Amino acid sequence: MMLKTPVQTVKERLLAGGALLPDTAENVLEVVGILKSYGVVLGHYWENLIYMSQGQFLVLFPFFKYFNGEVNWGKLLRHWNHDRINYEFSEYCMRAMLWHGSPPLDQYLDSPEFNELAQGAIQAKIQGNVFMQFLHRCFPEFLPEQVKLMVYTSVLGQFWRVMSPLFLDLSDRYDRGEITTIKNVVDHIRMGLIQAAPAPIIYDVKINGDIYPLLTPAAGLDFLTAAAVPYVEAVFFRSFPFMGTVSYNAQAYQIPADQGDFNYGALYADPLPIGGAGIPPTLLMQDMRHHLPDYLLERYRHSTRGLADVRVKICETFQKSMFCVTTAAIQALAPHPLTSSDPQERRVNDRYVELWVQRLSDSRLLAVQG
């Protein structure tokens, strides 16, 4: 009898209604604990992204964009001393989404309807500003591109505004004894995604007391297709190669020529460089380090090396949690319920799951099976 490969085992588990991550008490504790910390951090991230999309609209030199409109000496000194949330990571994720794109959102951003709305907001913003007017005449595509950047900033903020309380509620349910298995975790996230799926993605800015809509309800953009799925694609799968770990020299052939072949996302990243200079996830791990629940911190403290490599441990745990989020997305997007007993539906599901598992086969999927 042929032994099953680890990939085949994962596939069968998915088709049986299970998750990419094995269901163990240890995994449940780690995943819930890290998502609690992540939920707190995302709360800070989304608030700042929404502030930037509103309060820093077409500000070319946004020196105080991380201050959420509250600038004082105490906050400035803490900022200089790095005693703050690392909002740079949220921008890193936003730019990953911008570069890899969101098909329904990009289609709208390239439409005449959006161009007209964007031009209206631009003209209102540069009114009376001779420098900005001159810049717009010389480089007519520059400010519209900045508006698109602000759109993506708002979209990611709106996405995380849903995910942050979803993760915090998961932690509360765990504390009450309602979450005991990885399946419970996945079900909680999946139901949250399904409930938020049809919510409209809209965005407008206030300029000189007037409201200028940029993403209107008429655009038909919703949470699932315009924000959630593109986020998973851009941040979980593709992302950017980390500077200092691979060569950007085209002749070195260390980076795929096609960005669609990128696999530098959260599910693929090697946890060991975490803590090194220039590695963006280090910023996220540092932020989560300050908000770990006691039970997870205690687990790290009594493991090999204790807290000496805590950021690496956080990254490994975070990847486990992201495989749970990915499972929820796979289940939510499945053509039929994965536990269906109908033969035709099971065949369709089998092909669907096979594509996902094959794509994840060279990720950290097998590393989290042990």
| Mean pLDDT in residue range 56-66 | 92
Q: What is the pLDDT of residues 20-48, one digit of tens each?
A: 999 999 999 999 999 999 999 999 999 99
* In the chain, % of residues over pLDDT 70: 99
Are 97 and 235 in contact, with CB atoms under 8 Å apart? Answer: yes
Q: How far is CA 5 from the centre of its chain?
A: 30
Q: How far is CA 320 from the centre of its chain?
A: 15
For residue 110, the one-letter residue type is: D
The token pair that represents 1 in the structure block: 């009898």
Per-residue confidence (pLDDT) for residue 1, from 0 to 100: 46
d(CA 245, CA 238): 16
Q: What are phi and psi of 246, to 5 degrees?
A: -140, 160
Q: What is the pLDDT of residues 105-122, one digit of tens each?
A: 999 999 999 999 999 999
pTM of the model: 0.93
Structure-token match 């936003």, residue found:
94
Contact yes or no for 147/118 (Cβ under 8 A): yes
Token pair listed for 163 = 């995910």
Spatial distance between the Cα atoms of 89 and 278, rounded to a whole number of angstroms: 11
Helix (H, G, I), strand (E, B) or coil at 222: strand
**CA angle, residues 100, 243, 314, in degrees to nearest 5:** 85
Contact 40, 348 (CB under 8 A): no
Helical segments of 56-87, H only: 73-80
Q: Read off the pLDDT band of 360 (50, 70, 90).
A: very high
Q: Quick one: CA dihedral 249, 255, 259, 263, positive or negative?
A: negative
CA nearest 310: which of 22, 28, 32, 37? 37
The pLDDT value recorded for residue 273 is 84
Alpha-carbon distance 275 to 212, whole Å?
42
Q: Would you list the DSSP string of 30-52?
A: HHHHHHHHHHHHHHHHHHHHHHH
pLDDT band at 2 (very low <50, low <70, confident <90, very high): low
**Model pLDDT, residue 323:** 95
* Terminal C-alpha separation, the chain: 23
Alpha carbon distance 141, 23 (integer Å): 51
d(CA 110, CA 90): 25
Q: Give tens-digit pLDDT for 214-232.
A: 999 999 999 999 999 999 9
pLDDT in tens, 152-195: 999 999 999 999 999 999 999 999 999 999 999 999 999 999 99
Amino acid occupying residue 92: Y
d(CA 283, CA 90): 9
Mean pLDDT of the chain, nearest integer: 92
Q: Which residues pair with 212 in a beta bridge?
A: 205
Decide if 360 contacts 233 (C-beta within 8 A). no
